[in-house]
Structure 1
């Protein structure tokens, strides 16, 4: 009897080990594929990128079991995780107009508690952007913005909000003239400006959405995404929206923004949060979105600012053909 149990254990334990190693990483991937917007499913769908890294490590470990059928199972799980990440890592790129100028756009959540003005300034200098969109400026960064943005003569800033529990100010800075666009006071922390650039008139919006459920009430992000779409109604110029959306672009809120605004995000890998981890292990919750008249030529992670978010640096140009909206 003991010999039989031992034989069963020896035949089963590699399967159990394979399932323990590879199985959990499928949960975020399946949450993504489900398309279900329920808060429990949506919160799991935020972690498809870390799940891919976990599935890759699991596949390597399963290889040490030297069981070809189990290796196939692990590889299938890995492929499922890869496919789940692709919509946020490689969204539609568009066809660029190679004769059009190129702008560099820098966006970052600076963290309201971050007073490292030197690191913020160094990060911006390193990127050498034409347009800067910053969210969650605390008192120290807000007060030092003339120093941080010394090379940018055109600036717009939202009302200074630095009290405990607030998300801070939003600032847009540019090498090209900016004019403010009226925005209502509502639940969305945002700033809207119109820039006269070598690409023509460009509407710039800096956005900071609330944290998702369970950290905030479940309808918060949904309401704010709806408010963002409302503010962009009637805009016929090219649009670039950037900031901290507290969600990956392929989850519920990202899908809502795409559906309601028609905007397309830049790729969101490597991730932007948290900076305690290397960016390739992080989650892409900070984004830049473009209208169809624009194309992202590239997207990279910028130099650290002292915040718990990595900045994003993109290169933007006009699309080959200008579709009407």
Structure 2
């Protein structure tokens, strides 16, 4: 009888480990999609999730290990290794080092969420950041009605025309303590706004970005077409370029690869994540980003205070690169 119970226990343990290993195939597929470099829309959707899935897989593997299910634990550790390799380009982009004694320009970028009416939280977040340049997308009706209060201290401004969508109306904004020139706006549903800021590190082309949502929410080529339009706009720019805003894609997926390979751009480090803001940082995805040309260096990247939006703002300190 005792041996029979042992055999039943052993079979149950094998069954449990088989179920757990099968469950780990989901994180494995996400790691494989991220590492594959395949740009197909179905693969790209999976490639958006390695960061939050890494955190969940760490927790799951720890629990499995505490239960002494060693085979499943070993599989979990292998999947974790692949997930870490997949997400590492988001966290460590390998941009240029900062030149010693270079001035610093602080840039704040936020998706305010069009239906957000918490102007007080927006203003508090902007004041806490104490940025020199701010880039705002999904600038809805509430902040537009309080624009002078919200952008107080930023006398140089570029604001797109009001674009009415099915459920809301939005603008995009660049506001600066430094003079702005060579302005350009594209007033479609996902606006691009661009201006050259005369900063202590020299003229900088600042581009506010809001790419469309990825497939299956929008047509599959939408993000790619908009990204190529961005690169056409910045191609040959005589000044350093900074693209900031909501890219609706993580840096290690196909849009990030496109911007790096075709535009030779670098992104700021992407941890902790920015969306959805209600979740803890390790469970968020970094879809709100700052990309820059190699003649600019990022001295620091952090998140701004909540604005009432489902996105967290990003704050970067820009400087000259070391020789």
TM-score interval for Structure 1 and Structure 2 normalised by the shorter chain: over 0.9
1:170-189 pair list within 5 angstroms: 170-183=172-185, 189=191
Displacement after TM superposition at 1:165 (Å): 4.0
| CA distance, structure 1, for counterparts of residue 25 and residue 303 of structure 2 | 30
**Does the 8 Å CA contact 1:156/1:180 hold for their aligned counterparts?**
no
Secondary structure, aligned partner of 1:24: helix
Aligned residues: 320
Question: Which segments of 5 or more consecutive residues in structure 2 lack a partner in the other structure?
Answer: none
Displacement after TM superposition at 1:188 (Å): 5.1
Partner of 2:202: 200
Once the two structures are overlaid, the 10-residue window that deviates more, 237-246 or 251-260, is: 251-260
Partner of 2:14: 12
Displacement after TM superposition at 1:30 (Å): 0.8
Q: Relative to 1, partners in 2 of residues 1:59 and 1:7: Cα closer, same or farther, differing over 3 Å?
A: closer
**1:98 corresponds to which of 82, 92, 100:** 100
**2:264 corresponds to which of 262, 265, 272:** 262
**Does the 8 Å CA contact 2:137/2:209 hold for their aligned counterparts?**
yes
Displacement after TM superposition at 1:15 (Å): 2.3
Partner of 2:302: 300
Partner of 1:57: 59
**Does the 8 Å CA contact 2:172/2:192 hold for their aligned counterparts?**
yes
Displacement after TM superposition at 1:158 (Å): 0.9
**Does the 8 Å CA contact 2:17/2:71 hold for their aligned counterparts?**
no
**Residues 137-189 of structure 1: per-residue CA shift (max 9 Å, x gap):** 01111221211110111111111224434661110011110114235566751
**Residues 243-285 of structure 1: per-residue CA shift (max 9 Å, x gap):** 1010001101111111221111111121111122122211111
Displacement after TM superposition at 1:18 (Å): 3.4
Secondary structure, aligned partner of 1:51: helix
Displacement after TM superposition at 1:41 (Å): 0.6
Query: TM-score, normalization: structure 2?
Result: 0.93
| CA distance, structure 2, for counterparts of residue 253 and residue 187 of structure 1 | 19
**Residues 192-233 of structure 1: per-residue CA shift (max 9 Å, x gap):** 101100001010000111000000111111110111111011
Displacement after TM superposition at 1:5 (Å): 7.4
**2:78 corresponds to which of 76, 83, 87:** 76
Secondary structure, aligned partner of 1:192: strand
Query: TM-score, normalization: structure 1?
Result: 0.93
Root-mean-square deviation (Å):
2.0
Displacement after TM superposition at 1:71 (Å): 2.7
**Does the 8 Å CA contact 2:250/2:256 hold for their aligned counterparts?**
yes
**Residues 117-146 of structure 1: per-residue CA shift (max 9 Å, x gap):** 100000001111011000010111122121
**Does the 8 Å CA contact 1:112/1:162 hold for their aligned counterparts?**
no
Runs of 4+ displaced beyond 6 Å: none
Displacement after TM superposition at 1:64 (Å): 1.9
Question: Do structure 1's residue 232 and structure 2's residue 246 form an aligned pair?
Answer: no
Secondary structure, aligned partner of 1:212: coil
Secondary structure, aligned partner of 1:182: strand
Partner of 2:139: 137
Partner of 2:221: 219
Question: Do structure 1's residue 86 and structure 2's residue 78 form an aligned pair?
Answer: no
Secondary structure, aligned partner of 1:83: helix
Displacement after TM superposition at 1:89 (Å): 1.4
Q: Relative to 1, partners in 2 of residues 1:311 and 1:184: Cα closer, same or farther, differing over 3 Å?
A: closer
Question: Which segments of 5 or more consecutive residues in structure 1 lack a partner in the other structure?
Answer: none
Partner of 1:318: 320
